[in-house]
Amino acid sequence: MLRFDFTGRTAVVTGAGGGMGEAIARMLLAAGANVTAIDVKPRPETLPAHERLVFAQGDLRDLAFVEKTIGDAYARTGRLDHLANVAGVLWFGRDRSFLDIDLAVWDEVMDINLKTMLLTARVAVPLMKKTGAGSMVHFSTIQWLRGDAKPQEAYQASKAGVCALSKSIAMQCAADGIRSNAVLPGPALTPLQARWDSDEILKAVSGYVPIGRIGTPEDMANAALFLLSDAAGFITGTELVVDGGVLMRT
């Protein structure tokens, strides 16, 4: 297991109610960080109680909630060092081709997957400036880099926007010592992938990945912690693909 030291640091993690976000929150906690974990879902039983962990349940589209939750994290510890934007939705069946997607679905996916990132970053940056530096990681997907025979149009477009906004944040905030990068997961076994509901499907997906297995939330969390850590201190405005080699097949 990779070892990181975030002792004394303060981190905010969205989408921490399961999957990749929960894995990041757990790893940051284990590495010594003060963690504010956010999700619209209730706190999962698998996220352990800890004096350095605060779980905030609420809607990240609500600016007042975002301001209070991130502001409280800063007030409790006197600093804000890290932001991991992991919250997002992938709505199979509802999110379809641009030719027939319900525009209300399009707007809602954009709000959840992209606008929430704008809100959290806008609240976090002034607090990171007060701290003296900071780092952010935002979760996108390899799917925005290619088309799809069964497209989730709003999802892919919103995740392309995540990368564009991440780069813009990186450029605007570099002089303040604030870094911004994106993680692009490939196939990963998380609650979003409820369609992988049989051993046959899991075997087929694993066989498609050159490295021979499906990714885990911990694979993605390792990448995120690296980008958040001082070990990535000279890395900003980039995208880290974590896909087991899937993009080599395109």
- Residue 105: burial class (beta carbons within 10 Å; 0-12, 13-18, 19+): middle
Kindly list the distances between the CA atom of residue 146 and the CA atoms of 97, 158, 186, in Å, as whole numbers in the listed order: 14, 14, 12
* Measured distance CA(92)–CA(157) in Å, rounded: 15
Going by pLDDT thresholds of 50, 70 and 90, the confidence category of residue 194 is low
How would you classify the pairing of strands 53-57 and 134-139?
unpaired
What is the residue range of 142's domain?
A: 10-244
Catalytic residue among 4, 74, 144, 155: 155
Backbone angle region of 90, left / alpha / beta, with phi > 0 → left and psi within -120 to 50 → alpha = beta
Number of domains the chain is built from? 1
113 part of a folded domain: yes
Residue 101 has pLDDT above 90, yes or no: yes
Residue 208 designated active-site: no
> Can you give the CATH number for the domain in which 110 is found?
3.40.50.720
249 part of a folded domain: no
pTM score over 0.85:
yes
38 part of a folded domain: yes
157 part of a folded domain: yes
50 part of a folded domain: yes
pLDDT digits (tens, 9 = 90+) for 208-232: 899 999 899 999 999 999 999 999 9
Q: What is the pLDDT of residue 93?
A: 82
pLDDT digits (tens, 9 = 90+) for 63-86: 999 999 999 999 999 999 999 999
96 part of a folded domain: yes
227 part of a folded domain: yes
pLDDT digits (tens, 9 = 90+) for 105-156: 999 999 999 999 999 999 999 999 999 999 999 999 999 998 777 788 999 9
Structure tokens at 148: 């799809």
250 part of a folded domain: no
Q: What is the pLDDT of residue 220?
A: 95
* Measured distance CA(134)–CA(179) in Å, rounded: 6
